[in-house]
Amino acid sequence: MSTDANPPARVVQLGGLMPFLREWLVERYDAPQLADLDEPAEIEVAVVGGGAPAGAAEMDALPGLRAIVNFGVGYDNVDVTEAARRGIVVSNTPDVLTDAVADVAIFLAVDLLRGLTAADRFVRSGAWGRGERFPLTRDVRGAVVGVLGLGRIGTATAERAEAFGAEVHYHSRSPKDVAWTYHDSPAALAAASDVLVVLTPGGEGTERLVDTAVLDALGPDGYLVNVARGSVVDEEALVDALESDRIAGAGLDVFSDEPHVPEALLGRDDVVLLPHVGSATTQTREAMGRVVLDNVDAFLERGELVTPVAPS
C-alpha cells in the first residue's frame, strides 16, 4: 500500500524504450515497467515505443489510463481507435526525426542508383584487385524520384532529391501546394519513377499498399526504397519481383517481421538492407525523448498533450 511519502506511480513504461529514456522516466516520474507495477489503477500515462503494442489488452490492465505517449513518429503499434473509444488520448514525436529519416531515404536512393554499397562489397571481395570491373551505374541528376506520402518526412526527402538534381514526383491522399508533379495513385507514381520512396504511415489504411501492381508499374529499371513501415510493402511480392528481375533493386530500412529479413534478400547485390536505423542518431533519439517528457509533463500538469494524434 502506498503512503504519502511514497505515492503511487502515475506513469508506466509499456516497452520498446531506449535505456536512456527508461532512466529519464524512472528519475522524473518513478515510472515502473508494466510487469513491475503494484497499483495499476493509479496509472494515468503509459509510455510506449519501438513498436511495442498498446492495444486493448494493455488498456484493460490499466483501468485509470488517460494518455498514451508514443516514442516515435509512427504509432501503428497503438490502437488509436480503441483509445479514443475509451477516452484515452495519444501522442507521438513528430518533426524531431524528420531530417534524420529523410537523410537515410535519399542516401538509399543515391546508393541504389550509384551502387555504392555494392561497390564496397566488390572491393572487399578482392574482385577489383583481380582486375574485374564494376559495372556502370546511373546518374542521380535527372532521375525521377517518386515520393509516396508527402508528409513532413516526404517533403524533406523531396527537397534533398532536388538538391541532387533529381526530378520529384509524388502521391498523397490529395495534391499539395508544391511545384512537384502529382500522380493520383501509387501505381501511376511508380510508373513515372526511377526510384519510388515509400514514406507513408503504417497501419491498416496502408497495409501492402505497395503490391504486385505497384512493383510491376515501377518496372525492371526501377528501384524501391522503404523507410516507412514494413507493412506498407507486400514483402513476398517484393521478393518475387526481385527474383524475376521485374524491378532493378531495393533499399530497405524496415521489414514486415523485424528483426527477421527474408533469406532471399540477404545475398543480393541489388538490395541494400538496414536494421531500421532511419532515426537512429544520438541527437534525434534524445530529441524524441524530450518530446516524450514534454507530453507527459503537459498531461500530468494540465491534462493535455503537446503533440496529440487524432484517431483516423
Q: How many CB atoms lie under 10 A from the CB of residue 195? A: 29
171 part of the active site? no
Residue 194, CB half-sphere, CA atoms under 13 Å: how many? 19
Rounded to whole angstroms, what are the CA distances from 58 to 26, 36, 140?
20, 14, 47
260 part of the active site? no
The dihedrals phi and psi of 123, each to the nearest 5 degrees, come to -65, -45
Asked if residue 199 lies in contact with residue 154, where contact means CB atoms within 8 angstroms, the answer is yes
258 part of the active site? yes
Question: Which of the following is catalytic: 66, 229, 235, 285?
Answer: 229
Q: Which residues contact 257 (CB under 8 A, 6 or more apart)?
A: 230
Rounded to whole angstroms, what are the CA distances from 220 to 146, 184, 253, 270?
16, 22, 21, 12
Q: Which uninterrupted H or E stretch holds 14?
A: strand 11-15
Using CA atoms, how far apart are residues 297 and 187, in angstroms rounded to an integer? 44
Using CA atoms, how far apart are residues 255 and 275, in angstroms rounded to an integer? 9
The position carrying cell 490502437 is: 79
Question: Which of the following is catalytic: 86, 208, 268, 276?
Answer: 276
Q: How far apart are the first and last CA of the chain?
A: 40
Annotated catalytic residues are 229, 258, 276
